[in-house]
Chains A and B, each alone.
Chain A
Amino acid sequence: MQVELKLFASLRKYQSKGDRTRIDLKETLTVGQLLQKKGVPLEEAPLVLVNGVRVDHDYQLRDGDAVSVFPLIGGG
């Protein structure tokens, strides 16, 4: 199973340039488990989108999911 993981803003520090896009998963994971594997503290990553739709950390990843993760941000 393959998913795409993108980390934004201050979370970029948890992603090195090379492993930016596709990740092969051998097991079924939740978003939260994937983030923990990548060393991202969940409390720093409250805004998770899968294919543009807001999900919780316990969302079960499916093949082909595009996961975008943001810290709490605001502005405008």
Chain B
Amino acid sequence: MNGWTGRILRINLTDQKINIEEPGHDSYSRFLGGRGLGCHILWQEVGPPTDPLAPENKLIFLTGPLTGTQVPTSGRFTVTSKSPLTGTVFDSNSGGIWGVRLKKAGYDGLIIEGKAAKPVYILINEKEVVLKDAQKLWGLNVPDTTGAVTGAEGRGYSVACIGPAGENRVKISCIMNDNTRALGRGGLGAVMGSKLLKAIAVKGVQKIRPADPEKLAFILYETNKWIKANPITSQGLPEFGTPVLVNLMNECGIFPSFNFQESQFPDAENISGEAVAEKILVGKKGCYGCPIKCTRLTQTKNDSGEGPEYESIWALGPQCGINDLEAVAEANYLCNRLGLDTISVGVTIGCAMEMAAKKLVDADIRFGDAAKLSSLIEDIAYRRGLGQELAEGSRAFARKYGGQQFAMQVKGLELPAYDPRGVQGMGLGFATSNRGGCHLRAYMVGPEILGVPKMVDRFSTEGKAGLTIFYQNLNAAMDSLIICRFTGLTVSEEYFARLLSAVTGADFQPQDLHTVGERIWNLERMYNLREGFSSADDTLPERLLKEPVQHGPSKGHVVYLDRMLRDYYRFRGWDVQGVPTAKKLSELGLEVG
């Protein structure tokens, strides 16, 4: 079986037992890898009574069948767990090279369970898997941890680790890999911290052999031509990175600011991709096997690092009323070092700013106060002062002070940089996302704003349920292969089915990817239902449903969720309560009883 190593490491931190398991052909062909296989394992092993920060929760690191092959932008891996922020099944994926090294060491993934007696890190190479003392690393930030591990273990190791935020079980903390890449969302850093696991270092150089190298080379030739021919991947992203979107979203009136009180930001041009290129850009970088190279290497007067990405610029900027690009970039560097999710940090701080302005919270914070941003971020990571409460995320923070309508979140996950009142399908996507307020499950901005693959009316609710389902399913498969979302903007699923066939030797048609994606989506849904979630959770913050946009091109609109949601359940083959029918589950081969 090519494409997969067929082997997964199970590491129990409580009794330090390490085993190699073989999931078998059926699991791979039904769930592929990454997000799909992760959900499959979590469904079987982590049930409802489990506290996400208890030893019984698991952290499942997985590559996909295309990881580490020559397929462009396939150098990715996922981590799946039960999220301490949302309580849902949660997967996050990241690039860099860590996942490639894991696969080249001979493993498709790792299941981490239990809790160590004292801080440890895991060392993995082709010959051994060792648990090592990490007491001296505990307390270090991400670059210092990475440096210390690679310094001690030698060249060729790639490190995934947590910073102080994860150690302190901050619920908006992330796992970082290769220093600056993030498994950003859902508080997965806190799960790793709760297990006293500081880092995982991997090294491997085994060749990953495709089943049909000649066929693969032929399809790759065409795939790379598409990537080169499309201005999204050959011009926009290489030249300006993800912040290229700032001006477009702002001009469309879907660029939220001041905690979604407005849908445009007057100083958007100051913090745009064009401004990044002009003012702070010093270099560019790509993940393993990526021809696009969207990563920005930047430098401010006082600091330097990677990013900020579009989402981070927005969250740490306009969402908090801040227009100072250097302050935003420095706040972003700081989040990366401490191991914090930039989106959730910015949205939670913006929520607190609005609640302070409305006198619900007695705190000396206000919109636009760039000077306070860094100290607030540190306070969150170290759970100091107000940071102790912000560390729980916007939903818990707002609820505590009786202002839950000001928490811009879905199922506990903070919303990203799009105001869905001007992009109706995105609103449906946020509300139905199985991991909460996420833009990547169904990136409806593609058809509704960018015109990819075709432009649809962004204010209309017509046809949005079907299109949202189409992308949710397809993206679930892409997150299991694992392919970067940006390649998906330029290369159709027909190519990925052909690439997967050439790599694995099995026959995959485009429709098979949709079926696998639909299976994953329904299993994630069943997981959340088992945890007690219901159709009542498929909603949006009150502001987006009841307060029409006041100014700009989206003026007068709210999200017309009800009419889309009814269609959505029906088209999914779910009942009116949003529960998958027995017929649908059986059709997908999900024996979940």
Q: What is the interface of chain A, defined by CB distance below 8 A to chain B?
A: 6, 8-10, 12, 44, 46-47, 49, 51-54, 68, 70-76
Closest to A12 in B: B274
Asked whether A76 lies within 8 Å of B274 as measured between CB atoms, the reply is: no
Specify which chain B residues have a CB less than 8 angstroms from the CB of A52 in the assembled complex. 251-253, 552-554
Q: Which residues of B contact A74 (CB under 8 A)?
A: 232-233, 236-237, 245, 446, 450, 452, 486, 489
Q: Which B residue's beta carbon lies closest to that of A46?
A: B451
- B231, CB-defined interface residue at 8 Å: yes
Q: Are B439 and A76 in contact (CB under 8 A)?
A: yes
* Total number of residue pairs linking A and B with CB closer than 8 Å: 92
The answer to whether the Cβ of B129 comes within 8 Å of any Cβ in the partner chain is: no
Given contacts A47-B248, A76-B311, contact A9 B230 (CB under 8 A): no
Specify which chain B residues have a CB less than 8 angstroms from the CB of A46 in the assembled complex. 451
A52-B552, A73-B245, A75-B242 are known contacts. Are A10 and B252 too (CB-CB below 8 A)?
A: no
> In the complex, what distance in Å separates the CA atom of A46 from the CA atom of B236?
13
Tell me the bound Cα distance from A52 to B311 in angstroms: 21
Complex interface: chain B residues within 8 A of A54 (CB): 455, 458
A54 to B232, CA, bound (A): 19
Interface residues of B (CB under 8 A from A): 230-233, 235-237, 239-245, 247-248, 251-253, 273-274, 294, 310-311, 416-417, 439-440, 443, 445-446, 450-452, 455, 458, 485-486, 489, 552-554
Closest to A43 in B: B231
Q: A10 to B237: give the CA distance in the assembly, Å.
A: 11
- A43 CB to closest chain B CB (Å) equals 10
Residues of A near B245 (CB, < 8 A) are: 73-76
- Closest CB in chain A relative to B426 CB, distance in Å: 11
Contact between B241 and A47 (Cβ–Cβ < 8 Å)?
no
A-B contacts, 29 listed (Cβ < 8 Å): A6-B251, A8-B247, A8-B274, A9-B235, A9-B239, A9-B274, A10-B236, A47-B248, A49-B251, A49-B252, A52-B552, A54-B458, A71-B231, A72-B231, A73-B232, A73-B237, A73-B240, A73-B450, A74-B232, A74-B245, A74-B452, A74-B489, A75-B241, A75-B243, A75-B244, A75-B486, A76-B245, A76-B310, A76-B439
Give the distance in Å from the alpha carbon of A1 to the alpha carbon of B310 in the complex. 36
Q: Are B451 and A75 in contact (CB under 8 A)?
A: no
Closest B residue, CB atoms, query A66: B251
A70 to B131, CA, bound (A): 52
Known: A51-B553, A74-B236, A74-B237. 8 other contacts (CB 8 A): A8-B251, A9-B240, A52-B251, A52-B554, A74-B233, A75-B243, A76-B310, A76-B440
Contacts of B310 in A (CB 8 A): 75-76
